[in-house]
Structure 1
Amino acid sequence: MHKNAALQIILKVVSVLITVGGAVRLVANKQTFQSFLIGELWVDHSYFVYIYRVLGAFSVFVGITVFCVAQDPAQYSRLFKVWGLCFLFIAIVMFLAGYFLHMSFVHYGFDFAFCVLIALVCFSLSR
């Protein structure tokens, strides 16, 4: 029982962090990037702003879903394995796209690392 309670707390904390990260993406602008000392990475092109907002909405969705799943993690162990595979796939696509587009790793490295980290957390929770 104690292990399950600790797992619930960890999942809730991770879900809040994911949700807050997504919310920041939803409202981010050049000033937001500058406040994180990465202002040179902001792109004003509407396509990139659109993609950034879509990724923010997806992150909020995942955060809320993880918070709901945290109520009974053992019941959703297969779901965590699927999420882990999906986030690993997203990370691989990000890495390959950035590499083959000759982008600096600074431009996609944080998102790549974030997806790999979430995938690892999901795989560890699926056990």
Structure 2
Amino acid sequence: MAFYYAVKHPELFGSVTAYAGTYHHLYHKEYRTVGVAPEKAGELYEDMLREKWYMEENNILCLVRQNADKIRGKLKIDLHIGTADILFCDNEILHLYLESLNIPHEYKIFAEIGHDLEKIL
């Protein structure tokens, strides 16, 4: 939830780090990203951007887009995820979206690490 609040209220945060964050619950219910093979991330991302619902208020992608100018250069963003994490696809999609909006962020991928905070710290 820290990432959600940081992009919703970027004026209140200087930095945010998401460790194996989940963003799928803020996406449309028809897009299941948990446990999806990493190579599907690009395809899911393209599908999501074609849908109008991603513009809905309080959707994580919508908040990032709406506040992009406030976030860009002011909010330091770090995303950490393991390649074996069930949430890898979610993080890959968020990374692609941040890149598409030219929002600087650090995207750290840990090979063969699952959903284990101790191993990605």
Name which structure has the greater RCO, CA cutoff 8 Å, separation 6+.
Answer: 2
Q: Which has the larger radius of gyration?
A: 1
Q: Higher strand share goes to which structure?
A: 2
Same fold, judged at TM 0.5 (above): no
TM-score normalized with structure 1 length: 0.27
TM-score normalized with structure 2 length: 0.28
Q: Higher helix share goes to which structure?
A: 1
